[in-house]
Amino acid sequence: MENQQVFINSNRSAIAKIPLLAAIVALIGIIDAVYLTVHHFTAEPVPCTILNGCEQVLTSSYAEMFGIPTAAFGVAAYLTAFLLAILTAFGNRQLWNLFGALVVVMAIFTGWLVYLQGYIIEAFCQFCLISAATTFTLLVIFLVSKFIRAK
């Protein structure tokens, strides 16, 4: 019985670290999205050092929705994911499912944006791809946390 209690406690401890990891990853998303949002509002070109399509993507008609930069929606989404992950890490475990729902919506939207870059705009922005990788990493973190809890 004592061994079971130790396993349960150590499992809870491990799960608490997963939301902290998610919060760190979300910070990367916040930084990337803020960077793109600032460049959008200042009309400063974004330096593309790996790919050549940043300007083509960031000046396309898909760079804004309702007059708001797409990256600004990313800032809001990543900030919300960060806050939900932090609140979960510090004890409010019920918010983790809300985090998961948000990340699923983010991943679906990100998939759409990557599709647009590849097949409609026919160019890729390295900063947009960093955002996509960040979103899909958050999704994987959430899915892994569900797998760990199921054991």
Q: What is the pLDDT of residue 8?
A: 33
Q: What is the pLDDT of residue 90?
A: 87
- Residue 18 CA to residue 122 CA, distance in Å, equals 36
The per-residue pLDDT for range 115-128, each reduced to its tens digit, is: 999 999 999 999 99
- Residue 130 CA to residue 32 CA, distance in Å, equals 7
SS3 content of the chain, % helix, strand, coil (to 5): 80, 5, 15
Considering the chain, what percentage of its residues have pLDDT values greater than 70?
88
Give mean pLDDT, residues 76-83: 98
Task: Give me the CATH number covering residue 50.
Answer: 1.20.1440.130
Number of domains within the chain: 1
Residues of the domain holding 33: 2-150
Residue 64 has pLDDT above 70, yes or no: yes
